[in-house]
C-alpha cells in the first residue's frame, strides 16, 4: 500500500484527519497557535488540492472568535504528510518574520520520536551526512561525504525504549533538511516503521509512518518567554507502548 494517506480509506484503517471540530490545540496566545498534526494532514496546500492544515486552523480561529472576513495565519514550518506531531503557526504578521528567523538560524530545539525495526549499532550517537534531494522522487539521499548540491545534515539520537519487535528512538535535530530524519536513519539501517520510501519492508495499513514531532522549545517572538510544547503521538498499539 502507498504511504500516501489519501488512499487509507478502509473502515478499520482510516485515520481521522484534523478538522475544525477536532483540532488538537496544544498552545495558543495572541500571536501563536501550536497544534498536534495528525498523520494524513498536509500542512500547506499542494497539487493534490486537499484542504491543508493551515486552512483548517484558519477556520478554527474564525469560528472560535467569530471573526469576520479573512483570518491571518502564517506557516512557519512543515511536517511530512505521513508524520504526526507539533506544528507552529503565527497568528500575526508581527510574529511571523521573527519565528522564521528563529527556525532559519536554528534557535529552536526540535525533538522527535521514531519507531524503527532495526536498532542502531550504538545506543546513542550523533549522525552527520550530506543530503541530496531528488525532487522528481520527493526523496533525499544521505551521503557520508559532501557531494554536489548536497546540504550538511546533523542529528543526535538515543534508544530510549525496547518495544515488541521494534525500538523507540528519541531524535534531536540540529539542522532542518528535507526528510532528514527519515533519510539519515535509513542510511544507518534503521528505517522508520511504515516508511516504504526509505526502505521499510511494508507500509502501515493506514499509510502513516511512525515518526512524531514530540517536543518543540523556542523563545516567544514577542514576549521573549521560553516556551516548551509537548505532543502525544497518535493512538495505536505501538505508539501506546512507548509511554
pLDDT bucket at 48, cuts 50 / 70 / 90: confident
108-162 residue pLDDT tens: 999 999 999 999 999 999 999 999 999 999 999 999 999 999 999 999 999 999 9
Please tell me the predicted confidence (pLDDT) of residue 1.
33
Cell, residue 37:
498534526
Min mean pLDDT across 42-46, 109-113, 224-228 is at 42-46
Our CA dihedral for 80, 67, 103, 78, rounded to 10 degrees, sits at: 10
Average pLDDT, the chain: 93
Instruction: State what percent of residues in the chain have pLDDT above 90.
Output: 88
Percent of all residues in the chain with a pLDDT value above 70, rounded to a whole number: 94
pLDDT at residue 14, rounded to an integer: 56
In this predicted structure, the answer to whether residue 11 has a pLDDT above a threshold of 70 is no
Amino acid at each position: 500500500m502507498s504511504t500516501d494517506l489519501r488512499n487509507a480509506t478502509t473502515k478499520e484503517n482510516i485515520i481521522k484527519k484534523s478538522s475544525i471540530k477536532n483540532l488538537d490545540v496544544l498552545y495558543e496566545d495572541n500571536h501563536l497557535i501550536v497544534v498536534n498534526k495528525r498523520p494524513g494532514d498536509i500542512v500547506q496546500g499542494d497539487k493534490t488540492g486537499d484542504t491543508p492544515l493551515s486552512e483548517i486552523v484558519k477556520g478554527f480561529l474564525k469560528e472560535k472568535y467569530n471573526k469576520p472576513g479573512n483570518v491571518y495565519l502564517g506557516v512557519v514550518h512543515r511536517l511530512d504528510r505521513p508524520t504526526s506531531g507539533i506544528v507552529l503557526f503565527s497568528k500575526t504578521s508581527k510574529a511571523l518574520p521573527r519565528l522564521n528567523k528563529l527556525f532559519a538560524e536554528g534557535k529552536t530545539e526540535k525533538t522527535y520520536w521514531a519507531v524503527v525495526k532495526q536498532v542502531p549499532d550504538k545506543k546513542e550517537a550523533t549522525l552527520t551526512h550530506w543530503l541530496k534531494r531528488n525532487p522528481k522522487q520527493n526523496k533525499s539521499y544521505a551521503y557520508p561525504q559532501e557531494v554536489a548540491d548536497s546540504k550538511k545534515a546533523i542529528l543526535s539520537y538515543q534508544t530510549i525504549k525496547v518495544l515488541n519487535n521494534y525500538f523507540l528512538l528519541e531524535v534531536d535535530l540540529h539542522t532542518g533538511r528535507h526528510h532528514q530524519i527519515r533519510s539519515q536513519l535509513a542510511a544507518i539501517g534503521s528505517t522508520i516503521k511504515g516508511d516504504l520510501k526509505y526502505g521499510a519492508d511494508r507500509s502501515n495499513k493506514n499509510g502513516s509512518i511512525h515518526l512524531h514531532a514530540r517536543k518543540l522549545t523556542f523563545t516567544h517572538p514577542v514576549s521573549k518567554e521560553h516556551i516548551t510544547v509537548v505532543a502525544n503521538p497518535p493512538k495505536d498499539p505501538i505508539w501506546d507502548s512507548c509511554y
